[in-house]
Amino acid sequence: MIENVKLAIIGLGYVGLPLAAEFGKKISTLGFDINKSRIGELNDGIDKTLEVSPDELKQASKLSFSCDVSSLSECNVYIVTVPTPIDNHKRPDLTPLVKASEMLGKVLSKNDVVVYESTVYPGATEEVCVPLLEQQSGLVFNKDFFVGYSPERINPGDKEHRVTNILKVTSGSTPEMAEFVDQLYLSVIQAGTYKASSIKVAEAAKVIENTQRDVNIALINELALIFNRLDIDTEEVLKAAGTKWNFLPFRPGLVGGHCIGVDPYYLTHKAEEIGYRPEIILAGRRLNDGMGEYVASQLVKLMLKKLIQVGQSKVLVMGLAFKENCPDIRNTKVVDIIDELKSYGVTVDVFDPWVSKEDAVHEYGINLVNEPQQNHYDAVVIAVSHKQFKDMGVSKIRTLGKGDASVLYDIKYLFEADKVDARL
């Protein structure tokens, strides 16, 4: 049955491309994206997300790329990996998912299968996507076409946990379809699969994976706020507590990216829709969303202690990506630090060797510096723990500031406490 699959992956970002590359080694796979420049890059063997190497793309001999909707009609199984962000009011923005479903509805044929990987709230696949597929195709759900859901578990920049060695949750709209979807993924996922009892269960599993992490990080962030007032180094406390076998190794910091800072809002949206007001989840979100502003205010206090004129100061922020060693700037909370510092009248330079200058301008209007100037900054903030920053060493980073008259604030615990002016 798998041998007869003609697969299309819809959306070729951090999730879709690695999946397409793996399937493209085994079966006929079409990688589809509405971004023409993205398709052009991939046809040239270039992945600017750095998730798939040129060699890996070459190995996917059965993979082709297209932005032509008509090419999708040749396929019979579709995996949707489009983004599901939140809007300015922190509500789920299903626009990419809706458009993808409407587009697929126009090319669906009898017995076709659509599998969704995009993060959604429980029920969204069957309540939002399926009606659109029916409306556009004129076909009947679970009679003429079928759906599945298998939540993505991609970790951008992680070269150890790849798509093939992360266990995959699968589900389908009928027992037979659940088995088909499971077998489809088993053909490429070496770590194996876990077949959920329903699509709703699989959807819920995805949102709570990241909600759990978000709440745990929020607790550690709150502890950091408390320990700062007590003049205790948070990292030292966590190291001491970590000597107990069941203490969880979370660290304080900025919670951004496409998952942890977004997924909880999908769950709370659905909870409120059914009349339940979440307490712990939203409290964790509020706390984590406020960390960028807190970091900026702490830096300003450190600068004032050294009699630095904040309104006339120059600050270097090292790192713009939402996490270390990857170019992903989606929902990066480093921007919150930058914006808050600018509200104080600070001139902010941002340096990130991983991030595309074009992407930084397009997404946030930030012009990245090519190289930070020596002896130029009143303060330096290590906001992302890129390997390059660690390799620079604290002594070299210190030379970017104005000696003892400047501040070095390490919010990623990249260096020991006695080597910097402050840590988060």
Q: What residues are labeled active site?
A: 259
Rounded to an integer, what distance in angstroms lies between the CA atom of residue 166 and that of residue 323?
20
Helical H runs in 106-174? 124, 130-137
Task: Compute and round to an integer the Cα radius of gyration of the chain.
Answer: 23
CA distance 121 to 93: 11
Distances (CA, A) of 314 to 275, 291, 344, 346, 395: 48, 21, 11, 6, 19
Pair 219, 252: CB distance under 8 Å: no
Kindly write down the DSSP assignment for every residue of 61-89, as one continuous string.
TTEEEE--GGGGGG-SEEEE-----B-TT
Determine the longest span between alpha carbons in the chain, in angstroms. 73
Helical residues (DSSP H) of 291-348, grouped into ranges: 291-305, 334-343
**Angle at CA 93, nearest 5°, toward 37 and 254?**
85
CB 95 within 8 A of CB 82: no
User: How far apart (Å, rounded) are the C-alpha atoms in residues 21 and 98?
Assistant: 25
| Selection from 41, 424, 18, 6 nearest residue 236 by Cα | 424
Residue 111's region, left for phi above 0, alpha for psi from -120 to 50, else beta, is: left
Q: Is 42 helix (H, G, I), strand (E, B) or coil?
A: helix
Q: Give the helix, strand, coil percentages of the chain, each rounded to 5.
A: 45, 15, 45
Place of tokens 């297209």: 66
Q: At what angle do helices 291-305 and 280-289 cross, to 10 degrees?
A: 40
CA atoms of 7 and 15, how far apart (whole Å): 16
User: How far apart are the C-alpha atoms of 263 and 241, rounded to whole Å?
Assistant: 29
With H, G, I as helix, E, B as strand and everything else as coil, classify residue 145: strand
